[in-house]
Each structure stands twice: as structure tokens, then as C-alpha cells.
Structure 1
Amino acid sequence: MLPSLDELLGTARVVALPLVTRFRGIDSREALLLHGPEGWAEFSPFAEYDDEEAAAWLRAAIDFGWEKTPAPLRDRIPVNATVPAVDAAEVAAVLARFPGCRTAKVKVAAPGQTLADDVARVRAVRDALGPEGRIRVDANGLWNVDEAEHAIHALNEFDLEYVEQPCASIEELAEIRRRTAYLDVGVAADESVRRADDPLLVARTDSADILVIKAGPLGGIHAALALIAQAGLPVVVSSALDTSIGIAMGAHLAAAIPGLDFDCGLGTASLLAGDVTGDPILPVDGSIPVRRVTPDPDLLDRYQASAERTAWWLARLSRCHALLP
């Protein structure tokens, strides 16, 4: 049963966590935390998302905080390092925050940067990981098809595992997949799954080789598992720059997937300069544990968002709750 708005508001805490380095154009990550009968959960759609899209994230938080999680098939999840769009000289310091990770996801196509910047960054990652490491790049849909084709050719010398969301539309994904098929570089869909009216369309149209799955925007663990079963494609479970509470939800999702062929993007608590727990979910030997997280009261107080931002989040919570069935 859907918890009442009063029940949600009664435990809600809003935090603003500083980042180690600028990421997705922000310097701190805001999140609203909720405490349900099954434990703590996180509601943290990005600020630019409208209420209809954000409501799915609230459904996911309720699913994790108020419903039993599926039986886990594994107790640790292998994860990748995440390299923001930093200068090549900063890559080694970023990777050092992900001990034991042999896969790196590298952000590319950032506004204000050039393909030469991307090439230098990916080259620095390859130099750091060595020939055995795996590299995937993420363009967040910011290339058109011609730009994507040119970039994939330029980056192919670094033996890419796959390129994530090179273009924005499903039609463009299908076209770039066709153009670069001979290079044996997989195409992964992220925004075309989590921000689509029909998240299965990318699978039905053979527009991607891999699906990037985030529990929050898909409405929670149970909804994501249902989608994965219908899609029939390999998946990578990823985070949305969550607190360790949000990472815990992603880890429980990854733990319940029968086949997990790729390292998951669930090591991103390493990009936070502060967290809501003194025992954050961070990579150790390239993997993270599957466990729930209880926030520390002192850290909730330390990172409490401003009164203005707290009011903004509580109002957003109220509006999204009204949209849930």
C-alpha cells in the first residue's frame, strides 16, 4: 500500500553532499532521504526533471523502503571507475579513488570541450589501466550521428568495451550501431531507457547491444527486474550520483539479476566528498557489498540542505506523491 504523504514527510531529510570534482555541471548532490519499514531509501531525481518523470524516482524510493527486496544471487557487485570530464592530468587521481576497479567509464562530449580533450582523457585512462583494463565511454546523447562516428573511430585505438548513449534518439542509436558494426564496439542505451516513454523500444528495435539500468528512474527494483526480463539484453546497473543509500538500492537490484556480464556503475560514492554514513559503500578490490545503509544523525545534520532547498524538495515530494496511483 502506498504510504501517506504525512508518513513520508515525517521521516524526510534533505542533504546536499559536496563532490570531489565537478560532475554533470554540479558541485554538490542534493537528495531527499526517507525511512520506511524496510529501511532507508533515497529520492533524488535531478533538479531539471519535471514532476511526472520525478514521480518514478519516488516510486522507486517507496519500493526500496517499504517493500521486501528480491532474494540476492550474489553478495558483492563488481563495479567500474567513473572518470568525469577532467583534464588528462587529473585522471590518475580520479582512478585512485576506485581501488581494484579494472573497468573505467569515461565521460566524453562535455560542453565546452573538444574531441581532442576526450582522446587525451581516454588515453590517460588506458595508460593507467594498462592493456588488460576495460574502457567504456559515455556521451550522454550529446553527439549527432556524424560526430559519434568520427569520435568512435578516433577512440577505437583504445579498445573500447562499448560507447554509452552516443546519440540522443533511438533512430540515431540504430544508425550509429549500423555504421560502426565492423569495429566491434557495442552501443549501450541509458537515456533511451530511463527517460523514454517506452523503455523497451530500444530493445525491440535492435538499437542497442546493452541496456544501462538505473533503479530510480525506472520505478524501483521490482519494475527494473521486470523490464530486464522482457528486454532480453545484457545490462549494466548504474547509479545517478547517489548517496550510499541510493547505491544500496542499485546494489540490491544488481544482486537479483540472473546474469551480470558487465561491471556495474555503482562505485560513484567515490565521487562524493561527503556522505550520509561513516561507512559508505565504496569499491574495495573492484567491487561493492550488497547491504542496506543507515545514515549517521551527525552527518545528516552536517550536510543538511539549506532551508530554501529543503522546502523545495519537500514541495516536490508532495507533488510527486499526488501523481502516484
Structure 2
Amino acid sequence: MIEDRLSLEYRQFSLSLSSPLETADGRIESRDGFLVRVVDGDSREDGKPDDATVGYGEATPLAGWTESVSDCEAALERARESIRGSVNEALEAVERQVAARHAVSLALADLQAKREATPLYRYLGRGPMVGRVPVNATIGDGDPSETAADTREAAERGFGTCKLKVGIRSVEEDIERIRRAREATGDGVTLRADANEAWTFEEAETALDAFDEIGLSLLEQPLPAGALEGHATLRKRSNGVLIALDEGLLEHGVDAICEAGAADAVVLKPMALGGIDVARKMAVWVNELGLTPIVTTTIDGVVARTGALHLAASIPDVPACGLATAELLAEDLGRDPVLLENGAAVVPQAKGLGVDGVWEE
């Protein structure tokens, strides 16, 4: 890559959600961020690439997980000014702003994979061709009857894994929801639950005992992120339900989680970790330590979402991942190149990300 030919541009976007999302940090009605492109080559007078290779990235900050939108924009401006010096200078300019770094590093990886004429996942992992990645269906916070119906519908659509949101209703009602979901699908569908830090230790104990009997596969982040020892105790208590950490991974890091014995799996969100390159290294690391990596999005646009799929495709034997999130957006940055089929995402085999047409007005 000839660095003095590189230029970086970014533009702001706002994508409405299909339905507002209630989180601990407030109500989210849209995903706001920046589309980034890195151009290797000359541009025409109108600013559009002419016989140039272009890599795309996305920075979609999320409160509680990343920097603010304004801090993200400031970091991208620093990267724009420094990229002609070197790629390393551009990455250093966004080092402390994880969403901005995600965008810059993804654009550079997309660019380099295109130059090498290989899909992004093979550029990341140097492994064999991968056609599909298993994905989970996400089941919202309906009542027990709605939960059973939604889980049955997902199973009929071919999803082999369903992740149910829990923690908003009472523990007793959540237990009933999981029970009804199991009855609706039988043993042929893997059920997971995500509590998003909602429970006290006593509530989590009650839920875990019931989930052991129902046959839940995995319970994600039942306690607040800081409760590392609490998660370790729950893991020891479990007779079959795996414990996964999401928010806890960002707070404590892999070494502390392993030392405490606090998790069987960790959730890798590339946007929150600072890029698919960082997440890829972490996936290799946790695999070596005996933990299972699960890749998810942060409800991103098509550029980041497709990047997360390529990351998952670069991980050998990756379990079902939280990548089927396009339907949560009412609009997107461009055409989605990823087909969902029988509970799996079909991985684009074009050069780089495989995402086109996102920059045009």
C-alpha cells in the first residue's frame, strides 16, 4: 500500500430503528454515526474515485459502550489529517475512540483485501473458504405466549439458535417464558438468554436453577459487569448452562475473566472493541484459553454488520452469532449483500467486504 496516495473521507448518517430500543442508557430511536472511506489512488475533480481502490468503514457510537458521536467525529478528523503521513499515524489518532478506530481499521482492511483480491474473512484469518456462518434469532421481551410464538416462528424459519431477552420482567415470568419457548420448539433448537446485567445474585441463582432444568444452553451477563466473582460463583453452581460475559469483557478483560473462572464464553462486539482486527486477535486468544468467542453487532449499519460477519467467518468452528440484526433498522446505508438462509448468514465471496453503493448520494 503506497501511503502517500491514501486519503480518508467521512460523512455523517442517521438510521432510524424499526422500533425504539429501551436500554439502561436511555431510549434509542436511531443509530447515528459516520461512514468512512479510504481511497488509494487519484480522484476526479468531482471528488469521486477514478480507477482507485476504495475501502469502507463505519463508526456507529453507542452510549455506554463507545465514545460519544462528537468525540468520534473529532477522532475521524484527526485520522483524515494524518493518514497521508502513515497508516499507523491514522490509527494512532483514533486509538482511544473505539468506534472511530473500528471505522478506520475496517476501511483499511477492506482496502487491503481488495488489493489482494480476496474476501475480507480470508484476509483476516488466512484460512479456508467459508460459505456460511450460523446466526441466532433474537426474541424480544414479549409475554410467555408471545415468546413461545416468536420462538416457534424463528424455528420454522430455520434458526437453530434463539436468544431471548430477559431481565425486564420478573424472574418468575422470565422462567415461564423460557419454559414456554422450550415447549414450543422441543429439543431441536438451542436456547440462550441475555439478561443485560439486570439481576441480583439471588435472582440469577433462582433463574439459573430453573434454566438448568429447562435445558437453556447459555446465559449471558446475568449480573452487573463489575460482579466478576458473582459470575464465577454462578458458573460453578450451574449444572449445564454456560455463562457468557459481554459488558463484563470490556470492564475486566480476558485475563481477569480467566483467572476468576467467570465465564465459558465471551461476546465480541467489534464496534466496542475498536475494530475487527482487535476482535480477531481476541478471538484467537480466548480460543487458546478455552473460552468460546461469540460475535455480535451493536445494531450497526450494513458496513459494520458485514464486517462482523467476515470476522465470524474467520474464526474456526464459531458458534451461532448475533449477526441477524438488519431487521432492527428501518433504513440502511446501502444494499445488504448478506443473505440469511436456514439460520445462517451467507458470507460474501467478493473482494474485501463485498459492500458497494454506500457512498453515492
Q: Which residue does 1:129 correspond to in 2?
A: 185
Q: Which residue does 1:43 correspond to in 2?
A: 59
Q: Which residue does 2:89 correspond to in 1?
A: none
Q: Which residue does 2:209 correspond to in 1?
A: 153
Unaligned runs of 5+ in 1: 302-325
Amino acid at match of 2:258: A
Amino acid at match of 1:34: V
Equivalent of residue 253 in structure 2, options 198, 205, 209: 198
Equivalent of residue 75 in structure 1, options 131, 136, 146: 131
Report the CA distance between 1:197 and its aligned residue. 5.1
8 Å Cα contact 2:139-2:150 kept in structure 1:
no
In structure 2, do the counterparts of structure 1 residues 280 and 115 end up closer, same or farther at CA, with 3 Å as the change threshold?
Answer: farther
Instruction: Give the structure-2-normalised TM-score.
Output: 0.71
Equivalent of residue 218 in structure 1, options 256, 262, 273: 273
- Alignment of 1:290 with 2:347, yes or no, is yes
Q: Which residue does 1:59 correspond to in 2?
A: 101
Q: Which residue does 1:273 correspond to in 2?
A: 330
Q: Which residue does 2:313 correspond to in 1?
A: 255
- Alignment of 1:185 with 2:245, yes or no, is no
Unaligned runs of 5+ in 2: 40-53, 72-94, 113-122
Which structure has more RCO (C-alpha within 8 Å, separation ≥ 6)?
1
Q: Which residue does 1:14 correspond to in 2?
A: 13
> Which of the pair has more CA radius of gyration?
2
Aligned counterparts of 1:166 and 1:136: Cα–Cα separation in 2: 12
Amino acid at match of 1:35: R
Instruction: Give the structure-1-normalised TM-score.
Output: 0.78
Please list, as runs of the form range in 1=range in 2, the aligned pairs for 1:103-182 lying within 5 A after superposition: 103-110=161-168, 113-168=169-224, 169-180=227-238
8 Å Cα contact 2:338-2:346 kept in structure 1:
yes
Aligned counterparts of 2:163 and 2:347: Cα–Cα separation in 1: 21
207-216 or 227-236, larger mean C-alpha shift: 227-236
Size of the alignment, in residue pairs?
290
8 Å Cα contact 1:236-1:263 kept in structure 2:
yes
CA-based RMSD of the aligned residues comes to 2.9
Query: Cα deviations across residues 212-240 of structure 1 (Å, max 9, x unaligned)?
Result: 11112222122122222222222111111
Aligned counterparts of 1:122 and 1:144: Cα–Cα separation in 2: 19
